[in-house]
């Protein structure tokens, strides 16, 4: 061990000491969506950004005002670990009214820093090192990363492109074993926008119960279901006690930056997650909790307007894609994405995404970033104006003509 004087004399600083990275995170891979984002940031010239995973709207003003008023009135302190009682109450009411899921706000709900923290807490609470976490793919890349952080083994379970990547319970059940601690279901799904078939969800949940595992239900796009209902998984399956529901304000209320989410489920699991939450982040930001309170209990008209705009964009994008040769996508029934089949183009989805960026000025997310089964696809987000969407799709059409040589 060098003393401080020798360290200074010999120029040994923290900066030139070899970094030691924990084995747990050594396997972390850079997200392919992030790669595209970085390339887009370096790119000079006019780009159409269709890789984004968040609503392009600012948070409605009355929500911002609700939070600011609360901050002015002194809501600047830690809150209870599980979240302010009135916020938990508002979430429980919202879940009952809109999702038909009934939870006790005092014992079955914890308010978190975004849905992301809720997902991580759920995994930390129910998986043991070495356990399997099953992830139907294409799926959001952070699930694997979080399972790895929790010491578990993420297991991709590919869904079928012939079935537009709907949930196929048989495939999930075949991948289950006594090592399975959790199955992650995200409906409507990022990246496909697909709202999964209920019977398949029911069958997966039955199997989860048989294996004494948990279904982690990521319902963050539940507020953006265009054709279908917003009923939560825990409202209709036979084993709601096995369902840990994750949701938040980011998508429906355009509140990504406020970092406000929640986890609802079995009392013992919630009690454990609240303890983990206490020793990691203490509580969700008190100002953001007040923003959530206004979002959940206040005027809903601006939220409904955003929803209508998303639905119109979804229809525009799908109809326009139908006119472009060599590419296709089903009409997504939820979320803010279409998963475009570009398998007739030359190259991997990463190469296609890079070519589309460099030669045509459109930024997308390569399908392979959502699991191997996403190869041959691009995820396009419709969280952009109709003008930009039109411009982007015109450019994709140009590329299609060049690729197909017509
Ligand atoms: N789940 C999915 C499927 C998502 O797409 C996102 C955000 N992109 C999240 C969770 C995270 O949401 P939050 O902002 O509430 O952490």
Q: Are domains 23-52+302-404 and 76-297 of this chain identical in fold? A: no
| Average pLDDT along the chain | 94
Does the pLDDT of residue 29 top 90, yes or no?
A: no
Ligand 1 in reach of 220 Cβ (< 6 A): yes
Contact 196, 189 (CB under 8 A): yes
Contact 353, 367 (CB under 8 A): no
Alpha carbon distance 97, 91 (integer Å): 10
DSSP reduced 3-state for 87: helix
Does the pLDDT of residue 64 top 90, yes or no?
A: yes
Ligand 1 in reach of 31 Cβ (< 6 A): no
The structure tokens listed for 211 are: 């294996």
Residue 305: predicted pLDDT: 95
Average pLDDT over residues 307-330: 97
Contact 235, 99 (CB under 8 A): yes
Residue 216: predicted pLDDT: 98
pLDDT class for 116, splitting at 50, 70, 90? Answer: very high
- Residue 314 CA, distance from chain mean position: 18
Ligand 1: which of 115, 141, 251, 382 to mutate, most ligand atoms within 8 Å of CB? Answer: 115
Ligand 1 in reach of 183 Cβ (< 6 A): no
Ligand 1 in reach of 139 Cβ (< 6 A): no
Residue 17: predicted pLDDT: 65
Residue nearest to atom 5 of ligand 1 (CA): 190
**Cβ burial, residue 328 (10 Å; 0-12/13-18/19+):** middle
- As a CATH number, domain 76-297 is 3.40.640.10
Ligand 1: which of 220, 223, 224, 332 to mutate, most ligand atoms within 8 Å of CB? Answer: 220
207 CA to centre of ligand 1 in angstroms: 26
Ligand 1 in reach of 115 Cβ (< 6 A): yes
Ligand 1 in reach of 53 Cβ (< 6 A): yes
**Cβ burial, residue 11 (10 Å; 0-12/13-18/19+):** exposed
43 CA to centre of ligand 1 in angstroms: 26
Residue 12: predicted pLDDT: 66
Atom of ligand 1 nearest to the CA of 189: 3
Ligand 1 in reach of 140 Cβ (< 6 A): yes
Q: Which of 7-11, 53-57, 373-377 has the lowest mean pLDDT?
A: 7-11
Ligand 1 in reach of 256 Cβ (< 6 A): yes
Ligand 1 in reach of 190 Cβ (< 6 A): yes
Atom of ligand 1 nearest to the CA of 190: 3
- As a CATH number, domain 23-52+302-404 is 3.90.1150.10
Average pLDDT over residues 105-125: 98
402 CA to centre of ligand 1 in angstroms: 35
Q: Which of 16-25, 75-84, 385-394 has the lowest mean pLDDT?
A: 16-25
Phi first, then psi, for residue 225 (nearest 5°) are: -105, 125
pTM to 2 decimal places: 0.94
Residue nearest to atom 7 of ligand 1 (CA): 53
Residue 150: predicted pLDDT: 94
Nearest residue to 66 (alpha-carbon basis) of 290, 303, 299: 290
Q: Say if the ipTM goes beyond 0.95.
A: yes
Query: Percent of the chain, pLDDT > 70?
Result: 97
220 CA to centre of ligand 1 in angstroms: 6
Ligand 1 in reach of 230 Cβ (< 6 A): no
Residue 3: predicted pLDDT: 72
Atom of ligand 1 nearest to the CA of 218: 1
115 CA to centre of ligand 1 in angstroms: 6
Q: Which of 38-47, 195-204, 289-298 has the lowest mean pLDDT?
A: 38-47
Does the pLDDT of residue 2 top 70, yes or no?
A: no
Ligand 1: which of 251, 289, 292 to mutate, most ligand atoms within 8 Å of CB? Answer: 251
- Strand pairing report for 261-264 and 109-112: antiparallel
Work out whether the CA dihedral 136, 138, 139, 145 comes out positive or negative.
positive
Query: Percent of the chain, pLDDT > 90?
Result: 89
Residue 13: predicted pLDDT: 64
Ligand 1 in reach of 181 Cβ (< 6 A): no
Alpha carbon distance 394, 44 (integer Å): 20
Which residues does residue 225 pair with via DSSP β-bridges, in sequence order? 334
CA dihedral 333, 36, 38, 335 (to 10 degrees): 0
Residue 10: predicted pLDDT: 73
Residue 129: predicted pLDDT: 93
Does the pLDDT of residue 79 top 70, yes or no?
A: yes
Residue nearest to atom 3 of ligand 1 (CA): 190
pLDDT class for 28, splitting at 50, 70, 90? Answer: confident
pLDDT class for 210, splitting at 50, 70, 90? Answer: very high
The structure tokens listed for 44 are: 């000079």
Residue 324: predicted pLDDT: 97
Which residue ranges make up each domain of the chain? 23-52+302-404, 76-297
Residue 189: predicted pLDDT: 97
């Amino acid at each position: 061990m060098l003393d401080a004087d020798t360290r200074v004399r010999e120029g040994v600083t923290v900066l030139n000491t070899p970094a030691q990275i924990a084995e747990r995170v050594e396997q972390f891979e850079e997200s392919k969506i992030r790669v595209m984002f970085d390339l887009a940031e370096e790119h000079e010239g006019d780009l159409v950004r269709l890789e984004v995973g968040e609503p392009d709207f600012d948070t409605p003003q009355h929500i911002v005002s609700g939070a600011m008023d609360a901050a002015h009135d002194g809501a600047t302190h830690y809150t209870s670990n599980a979240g302010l009682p009135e916020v938990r109450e508002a979430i429980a009411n919202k879940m009952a009214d809109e999702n038909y899921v009934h939870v006790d706000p005092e014992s079955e709900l914890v308010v978190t820093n975004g849905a992301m923290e809720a997902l991580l807490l759920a995994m930390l609470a129910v998986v043991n090192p070495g356990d399997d976490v099953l992830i139907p793919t294409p799926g959001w890349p952070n699930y694997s990363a979080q399972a790895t952080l929790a010491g578990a083994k993420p297991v991709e379970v590919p869904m079928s492109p012939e079935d537009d990547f709907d949930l196929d319970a048989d495939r999930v059940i075949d991948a289950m074993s006594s090592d399975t601690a959790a199955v992650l279901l995200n409906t409507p799904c990022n990246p496909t926008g697909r709202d999964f078939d209920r019977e398949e969800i029911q069958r997966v949940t039955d199997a989860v119960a048989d294996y004494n595992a948990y279904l982690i239900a990521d319902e963050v796009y539940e507020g953006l279901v265009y054709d279908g209902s917003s009923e939560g998984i825990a409202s209709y399956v036979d084993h709601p006690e096995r369902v840990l529901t994750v949701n938040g304000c980011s998508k429906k209320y355009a509140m990504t930056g406020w970092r406000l989410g929640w986890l609802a489920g079995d009392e013992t699991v919630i009690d454990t997650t609240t303890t983990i939450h206490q020793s990691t982040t203490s509580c969700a930001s008190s100002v953001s909790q007040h923003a959530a309170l206004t979002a959940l209990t206040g005027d809903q008209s601006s939220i409904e307007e955003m929803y209508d705009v998303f639905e119109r964009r979804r229809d525009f994008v799908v109809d326009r894609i139908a006119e472009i040769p060599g590419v296709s996508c089903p009409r997504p029934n939820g979320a803010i994405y279409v998963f475009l089949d570009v398998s007739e183009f030359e190259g991997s989805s990463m190469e296609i995404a890079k070519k589309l960026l460099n030669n045509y000025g459109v930024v997308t997310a390569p399908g392979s970033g959502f699991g191997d089964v996403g190869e041959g696809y691009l995820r396009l987000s419709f969280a952009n104006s109709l003008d930009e969407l039109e411009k982007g799709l015109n450019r994709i059409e140009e590329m299609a003509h060049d690729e197909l040589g017509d």
